[in-house]
Amino acid sequence: MLPEALTHTWPWYIAGPLIGLFVPLLQLVGDKQLGISGNLRHLCSALLPRRNDFLRYDWRGAGAWNLLFALGTLAGGWIGVSLLGTREIAISPETQAALRGLGLQDLSGLAPREVISWSGLLSLRGFVSVVVGGFLVGFGTAYAGGCTSGHAINGLSGFQVRSLWAVLGFFAGGLLATHLLLPLLY
């Protein structure tokens, strides 16, 4: 049997510092910068027509380590869910009420099945959430030159002003979508 501590939700004060340690760790082992969204660029460069300078570079040399890191996260997701067991995610009662107010019935799992699922794709809200949302993630991170890991954790810990602007943007966009778009869409 696995110890309770492993199967339960890891508290922020364990998970946060562990995540933060990846910045010095990657620097130490290979002088690498934590950042996941670069992989979208590497994958584009590797798989799609390289019509412009943005995608014309040595993606193997620049990104092999990071693509492997991303591949590892897939395995990590599988281990986290299958071997270490996911519990019911206990979000705050206020948020549960807000989400039920949007019309969601099923608040279990890692994402709402009514929206973020293959059958959900056929609905407007599902399509916008997955297809349009995914597009915005890819476009926005490429435009901003980083995501939550690259700008928020790596950039802010290095006192980068540009990362602060990016992170303020992340939250501006997130708040806009949460409080204006979702109520219209759901």
Residues in 115-174 at the binding interface with other proteins, rule: CB under 8 A: 116-118, 120-121, 128-160, 162-163, 165-174
Kindly state whether residue 47 participates in binding other proteins, applying the rule CB under 8 A. Answer: yes
Kindly state whether residue 55 participates in binding other proteins, applying the rule CB under 8 A. Answer: yes
Least Cβ distance, residue 116 to other proteins (angstroms) = 6
**Tokens 């660029």 correspond to what residue?**
41
What is the rounded CA–CA span in Å between residue 184 and residue 82? 35
User: Which residue's CB is nearer to other proteins, number 25 or number 103?
Assistant: 25
User: Which residue's CB is nearer to other proteins, number 15 or number 103?
Assistant: 15
Least Cβ distance, residue 170 to other proteins (angstroms) = 4
**Tokens 């992170």 correspond to what residue?**
167
What is the rounded CA–CA span in Å between residue 32 and residue 122? 41
* Binds other proteins by CB under 8 A, chosen from 1, 3, 4, 52: 52
What is the rounded CA–CA span in Å between residue 42 and residue 149? 16
What is the rounded CA–CA span in Å between residue 90 and residue 149? 24
Kindly state whether residue 20 participates in binding other proteins, applying the rule CB under 8 A. Answer: yes
**Sites for other proteins among residues 25-44 (CB under 8 A):** 25-33, 35-44
Amino acid in position 98: A
- Distance in angstroms between the alpha carbons of the first and the last residue of the chain: 41
Q: Is the dihedral of CA 119, 121, 124, 125 positive or negative?
A: positive
User: Which residue's CB is nearer to other proteins, number 1 or number 140?
Assistant: 140
Burial 94-107 (b: 16+ CB within 10 A, else e): eeeebbeeeebeee
Kindly state whether residue 107 participates in binding other proteins, applying the rule CB under 8 A. Answer: yes
**Sites for other proteins among residues 62-91 (CB under 8 A):** 62-66, 68-82, 84, 86, 89, 91
Least Cβ distance, residue 88 to other proteins (angstroms) = 10
Tokens, residue 86? 């996911």
